Amino acid sequence: MATLTIDRVSRWFGNVVAVNDVTMTIRPGITGLLGPNGAGKSTLIAMLSGFLPPSTGAVTLDETPIWGNSDIYRSIGLVPEREATFEYLTGWEFVLANAQLHGLADPGGATRRALAAVDMEAPAQRRVGEYSKGMRQRVKMASALVHDPSVLLLDEPFNGMDPRQRMQLMRLLRTMGDDGRTVLFSSHILEEVEQLAQHIEVIVAGRHAASGDYREIRRLMTDRPHQYRIRSSDDRGLAAALIADGSVAGVALDGTDGGLNIETTEFLRFAGLLPRVARDAEISLYEVSPADESLESVFSYLIRR
């Protein structure tokens, strides 16, 4: 059983703090590392894979420090985000070279098994440089699996994949998790993470924002106050009618541009309320737009909590 531990870890580059006092434990099974771009996911994965020392705190695998310890790679398989591999090698040669670099007793057999696991036996004789994005991702997976590691780290593995490739990779990762491996993958897309990960760690602006089961995270994200911008034929009348309902937490008249800014705590009830209230008061709605639907705002809500 392999457990990754990040204990009060910060990492800064000059004046920029990339990871800010993060503590988390990653256990066997699939964990999704969720956060917007630039949140510090790659920095965390770099520290977990021994390619960056933490500025403070400790990053360990089963209590062994990861930085500066090349023996740790017997237990870790890494799938980097960058696509570059050894383009001039065939898929078979690439995975075989990885097996040999690990000093495995039977590199040929290990290569065959790894390529079979990612369903890449047929194109293995073609050069990696000719592979599609999905095939590349799978051959990278094979190279990370070739030594049968207990930990698998994947940095944005779904980036640029089409839906079919995505499904295929998800199936593969599920198998890895079911085998009792500790699988950690990063993503900035909530849907990806909740489809795959039993456990989610959310990181925003370098800080650990939330941690837990995907249902919990989902609830946190949908039950937060939603903000809408509304323009209508009678903003003041609409404001008066809306504030009477319990689902509306706040109404503000926009003095400069006109229009209303509404905050609601119950998204579904408000969705039914607004058209009904407008019809009853004979007010025409010109514009209804969510003011904060971007992923960033969802994340920053989580951080403020």
Task: Give the residues lining the site for another protein (CB under 8 A).
Answer: 13-14, 16, 18, 38, 42-43, 46, 49-53, 68, 70-74, 76, 78, 80, 82, 84-86, 88-89, 97-98, 100-103, 143
Closest to another protein by CB, 66 or 210: 66
Taking the complex as a whole, how short is the minimal distance between the CB of residue 182 and another protein, in angstroms? Answer: 16
- Please say which residue, 66 or 169, places its beta carbon nearer to another protein: 66
Q: Which of 152, 212, 202, 142 is nearest to 182 (CA)?
A: 152
CB of 88 to another protein, least distance (A): 5
Residue appearing with tokens 């509404």 = 262
* Closer residue to another protein, CB minimum distance, 143 or 232: 143
- 26 touches 197 (CB < 8 A): no
CB of 17 to another protein, least distance (A): 10
Using the minimum distance from each CB to another protein, give the nearer residue, 101 or 252.
Answer: 101
Backbone phi, psi, residue 274, to 5°: -55, -55
CB-CB contact of 296 with 247 (8 Å): no
Query: Least CB distance from residue 272 to another protein, whole Å?
Result: 44
Q: From the CB of 83, what's the least distance to another protein, in Å?
A: 8
Burial of 215 (0-12, 13-18, 19+ CB in 10 A): exposed
Residues 73 and 70: their CA atoms lie apart, in Å, by 6
Residue 13 has, within 13 A of its CA and on its CB side, a CA count of: 6
Among the listed residues 157, 199, 142, the one whose alpha carbon sits nearest the alpha carbon of residue 45: 157
14, exposed or middle or buried, with CB in 10 Å at 0-12, 13-18, 19+? Answer: exposed
As a three-state string, the secondary structure of 84-152 is CCCCCCEHHHHHHHHHHHCCCCCHHHHHHHHHHHCCCCHHHHCEHHHCCHHHHHHHHHHHHHCCCCCEE
Torsion of CA 148, 154, 160, 165, to 10 degrees: 40
CB of residue 86 to another protein, shortest distance in Å? 6
What is the closest distance, in whole angstroms, from the C-beta atom of residue 228 to another protein in the complex? 33
Minimum distance from CB of 139 to another protein (Å)? 11
Q: Which is nearer to another protein, 149 or 177 (CB)?
A: 149
Cβ nearer to another protein, comparing 72 with 210: 72
For 168, how many CA atoms within 13 A lie in the half-sphere containing its CB?
A: 16
Beta carbon nearer to another protein, 102 or 208: 102
Closer CB to another protein, residue 136 or residue 199? 136
Q: Please give the distance of CA 240 from its chain centroid, rounded to a whole number.
A: 41
